[in-house]
Amino acid sequence: MSKELASIKGQFPSLRDGGVVYLDTAATAQMPDRVLDRLVGFETSGRGNVHDGGHRLAQRAFDQYEAARGSVARFLGVCANDEIVFSYGATGAINLACFTLGRLFVPGDEIVLSVLEHHSNIVPWQRLAQERGLVLRFIPATPKGRLDLSFLGDLVTPRCRLVAVTHCSNVTGAVTQLAPIVSAARAVGALVLVDGAQRVPHGPVDIPALGVDLYAFSGHKAYGPTGIGVLWARREVLAGLEPFMSGGQMIENVTLENATFLPPPQRFEAGTPPIAQAIGLGAALDWMLGLDWSVQREREAELTEALLDGLDRLPGVRPIGPRTLVLRQGVVSFTAEGICDETLCRELDRRGVAVRSGHLCAQPAMSALGVASVTRASLGCYSEAADVEAFLNALSEIIRERGRRA
């Protein structure tokens, strides 16, 4: 183990005793000391409500909450803190976008999604389409689990108002080439929303370079707390949207008949927000910004290659997703002939290896890839060669035992 990696894993209390081989970061990442300390610090010596002012604890809470917005902005490479809306996970962020943008759409308008989306980037749009008479179109997948962009020209028509796609598939690990999507959308005046839930845990994002309009992600997959997410949107986009939820903290003035609202981002943060979680997320993203991402990416590529290679060698095992390290992250799904994924997951757990199995909240992706369910091993910045080896050894043992029993 390299010194740097030892020092990364050593910063994670849930991992440093080596009790579990954790290969489920795509579901939820573990939290480093830095984030846990910040959460405890807030709860023990800074707890107060934001926006209330009036006393020093409230002021401190407000300052830390707003500083966390700044951390998110730095991580996404954007300058404006008021483009950062805190929400409840990527799901909350996409729903916020869906309900607010949706009010601007009229019957017959079109939204383009892809078949590889997580349910959280399909179901809200389906419900919106049903309510407002919109048309949904889907970018298909290639056999290797990438978005097949050869159909873009047909799919993104002049009626298209929005293209909403994942930055990285939670099933195949494929990273989406956003440039052609952005130019197709621009050509017809449509917006582009990107679900960054699986991309953000793998390093800082350069939003201006991507040229997209909205970007959503979850805190808990990015080494931060649960219950917090982010919707980033260009200032002009946010400015044109009505509130999503309403109540306290988002109003300017209220009478018995009417209310006026604060500008973004407060307009979209009704009620007491998840303050500790936002502060924890800010700490997590600051912590990530302190890592050397060229080293991290190289290591992730090596480990992904080791995973793919190891799976290729096992009898009856079929890895899903691109067999290349280009535009591919360490999210590796597979099927094993004759073993149900749920059983496989439990058997791996018995051997101390944590992976995920099932449809991964991506049933249309499963259909497109011709599988009912998969088992998925996913890497985090603390993953190491020994984790991959332990996983492959455990899997090989399970397959051997099955073979002997058959």
Stretch that binds ligand PLP, among 15-23, 84-92, 287-295, 386-394 (CB under 6 A): 84-92
Q: Binding to ligand PLP (CB under 6 A): which residues in 205-234?
A: 218, 220, 229
Stretch that binds ligand PLP, among 65-73, 193-201, 341-349, 382-390 (CB under 6 A): 193-201
φ/ψ (deg, to 5) at 229: -150, 180
With CB atoms as reference, the residue minimizing the distance to ligand PLP is: 89
Stretch that binds ligand PLP, among 55-63, 71-79, 89-97, 390-398 (CB under 6 A): 89-97
- Match 């029993």 to its residue by tokens: 405
Nearest to 215 by CA among 173, 252, 176, 258: 176
Closest to ligand PLP by CB, 220 or 299: 220
Q: How far lies 378's CA from each of 14, 82, 303, 384, in Å?
A: 17, 33, 10, 12
Closest to ligand PLP by CB, 100 or 114: 114
Shortest Cβ 334–ligand PLP spacing (Å): 17
360 backbone φψ class: left, alpha, beta (φ>0; ψ -120 to 50): left
Tell me which amino acid residue 253 is: N
Q: How far apart are CA 111 and CA 89, in angstroms?
A: 22
Q: How far apart are CA 220 and CA 280, in angstroms?
A: 10
In sequence order, what DSSP letters do the residues of 79-119 get, joined into one string? S-GGGEEEESHHHHHHHHHHHHHHTT--TT-EEEEETT--G
Taking CB under 6 A as the rule, does residue 335 contact ligand PLP?
no
- The sheet that has 160-166: what strands, in order across it? 84-87, 229-233, 214-218, 191-195, 160-166, 110-114, 135-139
Taking CB under 6 A as the rule, does residue 166 contact ligand PLP?
yes
Shortest Cβ 63–ligand PLP spacing (Å): 27
Taking CB under 6 A as the rule, does residue 170 contact ligand PLP?
yes
Shortest Cβ 62–ligand PLP spacing (Å): 26
Closest to ligand PLP by CB, 41 or 140: 140
Q: How far apart are CA 318 and CA 374, in angstroms?
A: 10
Mapped to the 3 state alphabet, what secondary structure does 303-367 carry?
Answer: HHHHHHHHHHHCCCEEEECCCCCCCECCEEEEEECCCCHHHHHHHHHHCCEECEEECCCCHHHHH
Among 118, 146, 299, 356, which residue sits at the site for ligand PLP (rule: CB under 6 A)? 118
Beta strands in 180-223 (DSSP E): 191-195, 214-218
What does the chain come to in residues? 406
Tell me how many residues contact ligand PLP (CB under 6 A): 15
Nearest to 68 by CA among 287, 235, 254: 287
Among 32, 46, 48, 89, which residue sits at the site for ligand PLP (rule: CB under 6 A)? 89
Pattern of binders to ligand PLP over 357-396, x per CB under 6 A?
Answer: ----x-----------------------------------
Closest to ligand PLP by CB, 11 or 218: 218
Stretch that binds ligand PLP, among 47-55, 66-74, 76-84, 190-198 (CB under 6 A): 190-198
Closest to ligand PLP by CB, 9 or 220: 220
Question: What tokens were used for 27?
Answer: 């579901």
Shortest Cβ 143–ligand PLP spacing (Å): 20
Shortest Cβ 217–ligand PLP spacing (Å): 8
Taking CB under 6 A as the rule, does residue 197 contact ligand PLP?
yes
Output b/e per residue, 56-89; b: 16+ Cβ within 10 A: eebebbbebbbebbebbbbbbebeebebbbbbbb
Q: How far apart are CA 405 and CA 161, in angstroms?
A: 56
Which residue of the set 98, 160, 361, 381 is catalytic?
361
Q: Binding to ligand PLP (CB under 6 A): which residues in 274-293?
A: none
Shortest Cβ 214–ligand PLP spacing (Å): 14
Q: Are strands 110-114 and 160-166 parallel, antiparallel or unpaired?
A: parallel
Taking CB under 6 A as the rule, does residue 91 contact ligand PLP?
yes
Residue 160 is a catalytic residue = no
Closest to ligand PLP by CB, 91 or 333: 91
Interface residues with ligand PLP (CB under 6 A) are 89-91, 118, 120-121, 166, 170, 195, 197-198, 218, 220, 229, 361
* Residues marked as catalytic: 361
